[in-house]
Amino acid sequence: MSPLPLDMPDDYPWLPSSTRYPLSDLGEQAVRLGSPVTYDRRGEVVWYDVGDKGIAPYTISGSGTGNQVIVDTYRPLHGAYNLKLISGSDADRMAIVNKSMSNLAMRRCGLEVALFLATEGEHFKIAILRRSGTLDVQGWLSLGMVSKTLQYYGSDGAYHFIADTGDLYDPYGIYHHLKLVVDFDTGYYVRALFNENSYDLSAYPLYSEALSGIKHYIIQATFGGRLNHNDKAYVGHMIVTGNEP
């Protein structure tokens, strides 16, 4: 039997080369499908969720009458599911999802969230927090729906303007992509991304405060609604990256 030509594609199913793999090899297939990061492909994917596992990966909380976080099938970004955040109509009027994970050995962490705002609201925030055992270091991005601005949370404990966003509410299922990258080694922000725009935040220190406890990371998405409304936002995916350039 004559050898197969060397110019066959890498995914040729019967090529007997140790550096080339058949389509039945799931690892090779996964590489060919590409990264699950659909927006910003920098960094190594540490964890991601597209709502297909329900709310089981998260700790959920909120405030106000009617606040809720559930799995939904209304206009998902990927597959069949997304997370539906319903804000409370009184008190602090929030719906919150967060996930804790161990203190991973990595530089420059990123969190990307795909967001569909089905009603108007007050704000949508994402955060990455690292608790070192003695210190709680926090990075936050906020989409202000009333002010129509993108803001970061400064070391002074206040939000500061980054850019104008325009109207964010859309009833037809348009997802906005929001990403935050922080460097816990230096204690500074790195950048923010909102849809097609990237913003350099490397001059701004992260917020920190003393806090004892187990070392771990927390990622969080918070939706704040309007008084006397149960506003609705959908999260299409949450993606955590490490070793960002």
Which domains are assigned to the chain? 1-34 (no CATH), 36-242 (2.60.120.200)
pTM: 0.82
For residues 124-143, give the mean pLDDT: 96
Write out the H or E segment, with its range, that includes residue 26: helix 26-33
Task: Say how many C-beta atoms besides its own lie within 10 A of residue 55's C-beta.
Answer: 15
- The residue among 105 and 68 whose pLDDT is bigger is 68
Q: What is the torsion angle, in degrees rounded to the nearest 10, for the CA atoms of residue 47, residue 52, residue 53 and residue 55?
A: 100
Q: How far apart are CA 90 and CA 87, in angstroms?
A: 9
Amino acid at position 79, single letter:
G
Candidate from 9-23, 62-76, 81-95, 179-193 with smallest mean pLDDT: 9-23
Spatial neighbors of 6 by CB under 8 A, at least 6 apart, are none
3-state secondary structure of 238: strand
Write out the H or E segment, with its range, that includes residue 109: strand 109-117
Confidence tier at 107 by pLDDT (50, 70, 90): confident
- The residue among 100 and 44 whose pLDDT is bigger is 100
Residue 23 has pLDDT above 50, yes or no: no
Spatial neighbors of 20 by CB under 8 A, at least 6 apart, are 10, 11, 12
Residue 158 has pLDDT above 60, yes or no: yes
Distances (CA, A) of 107 to 104, 126, 140, 241, 244: 9, 19, 18, 10, 7
Q: How far apart are CA 236 and CA 64, in angstroms?
A: 24
Candidate from 38-47, 53-62, 64-73, 197-206 with smallest mean pLDDT: 38-47
- The residue among 15 and 176 whose pLDDT is bigger is 176
Q: Is 124 exposed, middle or buried (0-12, 13-18, 19+ CB in 10 A)?
A: buried
Q: What is the mean pLDDT of the chain?
A: 87
Residue 141 has pLDDT above 70, yes or no: yes
Write out the H or E segment, with its range, that includes residue 112: strand 109-117
- Predicted confidence at residue 27, as pLDDT, reads 53
